[in-house]
Amino acid sequence: MTELKNDRYLRALLRQPVDITPVWMMRQAGRYLPEYKAVRAQAGDFMSLCKNAELASEVTLQPLRRYDLDAAILFSDILTVPDAMGLGLYFETGEGPRFSRPITCKADVDNLPVPDPEQELGYVMNAVRAIRSDLNGKVPLIGFSGSPWTLATYMVEGGGTKTFTRIKKMMYAEPQTLHALLDKLARSVVLYLNAQIHAGAQAVMIFDTWGGVLTGRDYQQFSLYYMHKIVDGLLRENEGKRVPVTLFTKGGGQWLEAMAQTGCDALGLDWSVDIADARRRVGDKVALQGNMDPSMLYAPPARIEEEVATILAGFGQGEGHVFNLGHGIHQDVPPEHAGAFVDAVHRLSAEYHR
């Protein structure tokens, strides 16, 4: 494999010295870029784009041509695993993802297969291999999956939700059914992420988008427990290099200490967390990724730069910070504001690494 020209993202995740703070953006390949919209139109729809390795690689690399980013992230979706389990994923215009066969009972869970990542999810591995080849060592490639709790939420609700009534009804009325589903998902995610690593992903991230809707006790039992199982099952070395793993629970700032105990290398922070407080709480146990409010990118560049300076100062001197947004970039953000953000991180962070 080609030697990495820029490895500061991987070094920061492992809390090793870097010259400047690395930066990338969640959803950096997306609808805020006109060139992305052109390729998506060419593909026909979102899943067709995900399943075309050449086009998935093209949109993954688009933001790297515009901005001096320190990592690429696989262009895919968190719902690929439940789709491969046969739930019938489709996208409703203006409504987001939907499943035609949601999980309603224990029999549904029992009938779910554990997908073979090189078969049912082979298109994802083809995309990983294509992107690694096309990157040619420019920056590392991040692979990812949704967390079992987040995937189960979509599978039981049948799509997105604001109330979480079906999944919480299952959690409280039929906890064993939900545990069986989460266990099957955890096994599937381990296979899926390890296959991404074998295919060329140099770091992986687990997105727990809906962990923050749980009580602290339920978070430990129904979300963190299964993410811990995944961390325990992951390949942590490939191509002679450490493969760092990052956990991100949106709305999970109150549980950072417990998350840091899983053996992960880094924690993602949303914008509701004060990064100075987060660093005090986890010490040098893990690196931190985050955590500017994505809506800040609507502000003028001078205000964006001011916010970057505040977050860098909050983290302070030393290693273990990957700068990012607290969640995905919004689709109507001006592309030049994203550029101002990336440039500000690099320009202002050197003083913290002397």
Q: Is residue 28 annotated as involved in ligand binding?
A: yes
Q: Is residue 83 annotated as involved in ligand binding?
A: no
- Of 66, 77, 101, 116, the active-site residue reads 77
In whole angstroms, give the CA distance from residue 97 to residue 91: 4
The 10 Å CB-count burial string (b at 16+, else e) for 30-66 is: bebbeebeebbeebeeebebbbbbebbbbbbbbbbee
The CB-side HSE value for 150 (13 A sphere, CA atoms) comes to 24
Which stretch of DSSP H or E encloses residue 321?
A: strand 321-322
Q: Is residue 281 annotated as involved in ligand binding?
A: no
280 is catalytic: no
77 is catalytic: yes
CA neighbor of 11 nearest in space, from 292, 196, 343, 241: 241
Residues 6+ apart with CB under 8 A from 26: 73, 294, 324, 325, 327, 328, 329
- Of 9, 36, 154, 192, the active-site residue reads 154
- Secondary structure (3-state) at 316: coil
- Of 27, 101, 242, 281, the active-site residue reads 27
- Secondary structure (3-state) at 77: coil
Phi-psi region of 318 (alpha: psi -120 to 50; beta: other; left: phi over 0): left
Q: Is residue 327 annotated as involved in ligand binding?
A: yes
In whole angstroms, give the CA distance from residue 53 to residue 124: 8
DSSP assignment string, 136-167: TTSS-EEEEEE-HHHHHHHHHHTB--SS-HHH
Q: Is residue 30 annotated as involved in ligand binding?
A: yes
Residue type, 105: C
Q: Is residue 31 annotated as involved in ligand binding?
A: yes
8 Å CB contact between 207 and 14: no
Q: Is residue 29 annotated as involved in ligand binding?
A: yes
Q: Is residue 93 annotated as involved in ligand binding?
A: no
Tokens of 88: 């019938």
Q: Is residue 77 annotated as involved in ligand binding?
A: yes
Q: Is 71 exposed, middle or buried (0-12, 13-18, 19+ CB in 10 A)?
A: buried
The 10 Å CB-count burial string (b at 16+, else e) for 99-132 is: beebbeeeebbeebebbebeebbbbbbbbbbbbb
154 is catalytic: yes
Which stretch of DSSP H or E encloses residue 123?
A: helix 122-135
Could you tell me which residues are annotated as the binding site?
Answer: 27-31, 77, 154, 209, 327
| Catalytic positions | 27, 31, 40, 77, 154
Mark the binding-site residues for substrate, compressed into ranges.
Answer: 27-31, 77, 154, 209, 327
